Each structure stands twice: as C-alpha cells, then as structure tokens.
Amino acid sequence: MTDLLSLDDVNVYYGPFHALRGNNLTVGEGEIVSLLGGNASGKSTTMKTILGLVKVRSGTIHLAGRDITNASTNHRVRAGIASVPEARRVFPQMTVDENLLVGAYTRRDKAGIAEDLERMRDHFPRLAERRRQEAGTLSGGEQQMLAFARALMSRPKLVCMDEPTMGLAPQLVDQVLDEIVRINSELGVAVLLVEQQAELALSIASRGYVLATGEIVLKGAARELLDNPEIQEAYLGKAGQG
C-alpha cells in the first residue's frame, strides 16, 4: 500500500516540554488508521501537528510524497487534508447547507462545489431533510454527520477525526463508526481516527498506533493490538500535555 501521509522522526515542543518524541507514523491511501492513547498522551498534539497548527522542531511530514512540514494549514487543506474536530464544532446559528459550504472555503470551482453539495445530500439524507435548519438544533448524531460532510466538502484524500464518538449516546456510537467505514469504502477517503476507546477504534481500523507521554509505544495490525495485554499499560503514561 502506498503511503499517503508519513511522519518521520517528528519532534514537537511546547516551550521546554517535549510533547512528541521522534514519532514515525504512516497512513496508506484509502486506509483507516487508529491513533490511541489516554489523556495527555499526545494524541491531540499529533493531530495539530498534521494539520499545521503546531510547528515541528525536527523531523518531516509528507503528504502524497510532498514535503508539507512547514506548509500552512490552508495549504494542507488544499493539498488534501481535512479535519473533523473534537466535539464536532458545527456553527450552531448557521444552516446545515451554510455549514457545508464552509467546508469548501479553499475552493473556487462553483460548479464543483454545487455538485458536491448535492453529493453530500445524497450521502447523508438526514442532512438533506434539514438543509435549511440551524445546525444547533440538530441532535448530537446529526451534528456529527454534518461535521463529516463538512470535512468532505474540501474533497480530501485524508480526514483526521478527533474523538468522533465523544459525548454521543451509546446507541449513536455504532452509527458513527458505520458512517466512518462507509465514507472510507464508498468515497475512498483515508481516515486517521484519534480515540481513547481502543476497542471501538480498532474495530474499524486496519492498523493502529498507541501513544504514551508523547511517544509511540506500540503499533501494529488492529487485531494484534486488540489482543495485546500491553494496550492497557500503554494508556497509563505520566501526565503531560496532550
């Protein structure tokens, strides 16, 4: 499988604090990869580093073979990275359609944007029914679907999802996981899934990485990690910046 995203010996600091410690991580084209770890393990920092919100002290980041280590967030979005942030963060007083159009902010192809708007309505029928409704009035599950659709409006190659099941009712969690699989299989979009709940994340991923105190301490096939007794131990890292 060809690497779409690669982090090579990446080190990140917050002042004197060594937040990411020489990490190596890859996501293949069309692959779902889980990034696991407890609180303050470095998951959020890894996500911010990939999105260009945190600067790399040393090491490199490549997307589709191109060095994006020092590229702006805007450039990374144009190059094919999209984000589904923690807690969804839809714009509550904007309509569903207006939220979707925000996802296409880097694009100038009006015809293509209109086409993708229709594609999202087809892919997420519930959003089509509520297209003129304010996003803040949607249920938690519907807001998560909107966050997914908004990310897809930039036509990404890779979507980074930060705790997509957080705060959802248990009956909605499986629905969200099924939707991630559907996005991946039907649209061919690679997914980097940041999660605390190992069993959930690894149930839909092909591979996974486990972070503890800013360092990747375990990696491997999803099934191998699920069966690995060290998984729980790896989650008990010392407190640091996450």
199 has pLDDT over 70: yes
Relative to beta strand 32-36, strand 58-63 is unpaired
232 has pLDDT over 70: no
Which pLDDT tens digit goes with each residue over 44-79?
Answer: 999 999 999 999 999 999 999 999 999 999 999 999
Cα 156 from Cα 34, distance rounded (Å): 18
Beta-carbon neighbour count of residue 109 at 10 Å? Answer: 11
Distance of CA 52 to the CA centre of its chain: 13
Distance of CA 18 to the CA centre of its chain: 23
Calculate the average pLDDT of the chain. 90
159 has pLDDT over 90: yes
Cα 171 from Cα 107, distance rounded (Å): 36
Token pair, residue 201, equals 């994340």
Residue 216: C-alpha distances to residues 11, 47, 131, 198 (Å): 12, 14, 42, 15
Domain spanning 3-91+156-234, CATH class = alpha beta
Token pair, residue 149, equals 């659709």
What integer is the mean pLDDT of 199-218? Answer: 93
* Cβ contacts of 135 within 8 Å, gap of 6 or more: 90, 91, 92, 93, 94, 95, 96, 99, 143, 146
235 has pLDDT over 50: no
Relative to beta strand 66-67, strand 207-212 is unpaired
pLDDT band at 242 (very low <50, low <70, confident <90, very high): low
CA nearest to 35, candidates 56, 13, 50, 17: 50
Which pLDDT tens digit goes with each residue over 124-143?
Answer: 999 999 999 999 999 888 99
CB–CB of 67/136 below 8 Å?
A: no
Token pair, residue 101, equals 């159009």
Q: What percent of the chain has pLDDT over 70?
A: 95
* Cβ contacts of 166 within 8 Å, gap of 6 or more: 86, 87
Which pLDDT tens digit goes with each residue over 90-108?
Answer: 999 999 999 999 999 888 8
pLDDT confidence of residue 202: 92
pLDDT confidence of residue 239: 38
15 has pLDDT over 60: yes
pLDDT confidence of residue 238: 35
Which pLDDT tens digit goes with each residue over 167-182?
Answer: 888 888 888 899 999 9
pLDDT confidence of residue 227: 84
